[in-house]
Structure 1
Amino acid sequence: MNPSLFQFSPGAFLAPAVDWLNANLHPLFAAISSLIETVLTSFETALLSVPPFVLIGIVVILAFFLVQLRVAILAGLALGFCFLAGLWTASMQTIALVSVAVAISVLIAFPLGIFASRNKSVEAAVRPVLDIMQTVPPWVYLIPAVMIFSLGRVPAIIATIVYGVPPMLRLTTLAFNQVPKDLLELGQAIGASPRTILFKIEIPSAKPTLLVGLNQCILLSLAMVVLAGLVGAGGLGAEVTRGLTRMEMGLGLRAGLAIVAVALLFDRLSRGALQGKRAAGAK
């Protein structure tokens, strides 16, 4: 008996599908690629056009006034390490890539999570999809992205978005499901509009869980940085990859620590800015 008769080859089905997409939807993919590349390049250029010490000072001052002194010191140390390690340009490229990816992920996951929390059929349909997406290894997302968008930063951002949406979507749905029913009934009793209930009752009540979702989205997006370096996305991921391929332990260690510094910067600034200065200072 030929064992090959019982083997399943996904490539035999996926390759024609990808060829069809590239042949028939190329203008759409080109437009998406151009838009993402334009936004990313603009953000990256804006960060790199400011002298490092000036940008560090701006971030420290904003962190102090928006959050607290402790976070401002942490922000200064994180960015200062990236500069002193000789990885300033790569760090700014990574910050730009992660910022754009997280922003798009939140724009997709937040409204979809609200909709799923209001429609149990949608929530039931989305749940197994999210389970699969969070189980699949992250580098698998790079394969279809590269096949459609070729190498570069665009497939890296697409894969990062796909990897970052599930935790934000899942926790957004959970956050709105956990809003106390008596608060919703109170809002309806006083004649508040659905928009007022959403922004004045539901979002404030769901904020702690939403912050956890944002935190997970940021950290998972940063986890894709190293893999993004494998497809020509540049940034700190490319430096880690270069250190591994050339067996330069110093470069790989510096780039890895820079990724940690950027992760701490994103986490503390986003959490502190959304919680408010008083709440952040109380913790």
Structure 2
Amino acid sequence: MASSCWGLPELICRFPEVDATAMRHARRAIDTGFRDLVREFSDVIDAATAPLQVFLNMLENTFVNTPWIIVFAVLLGVVWAGARSVRVVAGAALALLVIGWVGLWEDTMITLAMVTVSTLLAVALGLPVGIFTARSDRVQAVVNPTLDVMQTLPSFVYLIPVVVIFGIGKVPGLIAVVIYAIPPMIRLTNLGIRLVDREVIEAADAFGSSDRQKLWGVQLPLALPTIMAGVNQTIMMALAMVVIASMVGVGGLGKNVLQAINNQFFTVGFLNGFALVAIAIIFDRTSQAFGKRLQKHREAGHE
């Protein structure tokens, strides 16, 4: 018979030790297999991410090398097109001028390029996933728990598989930002389509509309304000992740904030943090105003 420990069988007594040994072997096997798999497909991974690298570098060079007054005017034009508010445009102009005055224009443009590309990528990926989720309860049953995990997982954890697979650099940081920022886009696209009035859908059915016609002619236009709220949240989360992504080679304001933390440079950290907050407020006010305009247009159309 097996010896006992406080009256318990030896296997049960040694369970924590046995479990720890098994876990070490399992972790070693998984890590080794994962690294070998990444090495085997490294050429494929590099080829797949090359377009992202080219696009990001092109946009970054455009923002940085274009005369500041032109970039300044274009940004204000974009803010005006979205917000149609003199107050928002004036606030954006003041914030950008202060950013340039404290010498953070170039770093801000690098961050702006990163946020722009990551937002475009998150919208391009999140919108179709949100549409599929809205059209199928089974897909939603799979997607929602996945999004719950993505939104509750600490943001630093995203960097581990990204760095193992893609290495250090701008593209790994971009991918980490997209993974972190995409859940609101999927959720709010799904929500917006599901909240479309059932009577409107029935009216479209009565006119013989196909599923494609209902999606593009009825559901997406009516869900657009909610989808724009998803774009707004995606931008905010992308800006929040930029600082953490600087740990894997992303430059700009996030890198400066990380250096300020490491070296306890209060002024540098405060100024770069101010620039990040200013960009976030500009994006937030512009996208919110655009969403409200869409909502008013939708209500006017119903009347």
Q: 2:282 aligns with which of 265, 274, 282?
A: 265
Q: Would you say 1:162 and 2:179 are equivalent positions?
A: yes
In the alignment, which residue of structure 2 is the partner of 1:73? Answer: 90
Supply the distance in 1 between the matched residues of 2:184 and 2:295 (Cα, whole angstroms).
27
TM-score of the aligned structures, taking structure 2 as reference length: 0.86
One-letter amino acid of the structure 2 residue matched with residue 37 of structure 1 = Q
Deviation of 1:278 (Å): 9.9
Aligned ranges 1:1-283 → 2 under 5 Å: 1=14, 3-7=16-20, 8-9=23-24, 11-68=27-84, 69-273=86-290, 276=293, 279=296
Q: Which moved more, 1:267-276 or 1:47-56?
A: 267-276
Question: How far off its partner does 1:231 sit?
Answer: 1.4
Distance 2:118 2:165 in 1: 18
Cα distance, 1:276 vs. partner? 4.5
Q: Is the 8 A contact 1:67 1:277 kept in 2?
A: no
Distance in structure 2 (CA, Å) of the matches to 1:247 and 1:278: 46
Q: Which amino acid aligns with 2:199?
A: D
**Which structure has the bigger radius of gyration?**
2
Q: Secondary structure at the match of 2:47?
A: helix
Compare 194-203 and 83-92 and name the one that shifted more: 194-203
Unaligned runs of 5+ residues in structure 2 are 1-13, 298-303
Q: 1:120 to 1:73 in 2, by over 3 A?
A: same
Partner SS for 2:248: coil
SS of alignment partner, residue 264 of structure 2: coil
- Matched residues in 1 for 2:173 and 2:15: separation? 40
**Contact 2:229–2:291 at 8 Å: present in 1 too?**
no
CA distance in 1, matches of 2:169, 2:137: 39
- Greater RCO structure (CA 8 Å; 6+ sep): 1
CA contact (8 A) 2:225 2:291 kept: no
Q: Equivalent residue of 1:191, what SS?
A: coil
**Aligned residue pairs, count:** 280
- Return the TM-score normalized by structure 1: 0.91
| Stretches of 4+ aligned residues off by more than 6 angstroms | none
Contact 1:66-1:277 within 8 A present in 2 as well: no
Of 165-174 and 140-149, more deviation after overlay is shown by 165-174
Does the Cα contact within 8 Å between 1:243 and 1:249 map onto a contact in 2? yes
Deviations 1:66-125 (A, max 9, x none): 532122112212322221221111111111111111111111111111111111111101
In the alignment, is the contact (CA less than 8 A) between 1:113 and 1:172 conserved in 2?
A: yes
- Code of the residue aligned with 1:122 in structure 2: it is V
What's the secondary structure of 2:39's corresponding residue? helix
Give the Å deviation of 1:275: 5.2
Stretch of structure 1 that moved more, 103-112 or 52-61? 52-61
In the alignment, structure 1 segments of 5+ residues that lack a partner are none
SS of 1:33's equivalent? helix
Change (3 A) 1:24 1:160: same
Q: Contact 2:181–2:235 (CA<8 Å) still a contact in 1?
A: yes
1:134–1:166 Cα contact (<8 Å) kept: yes
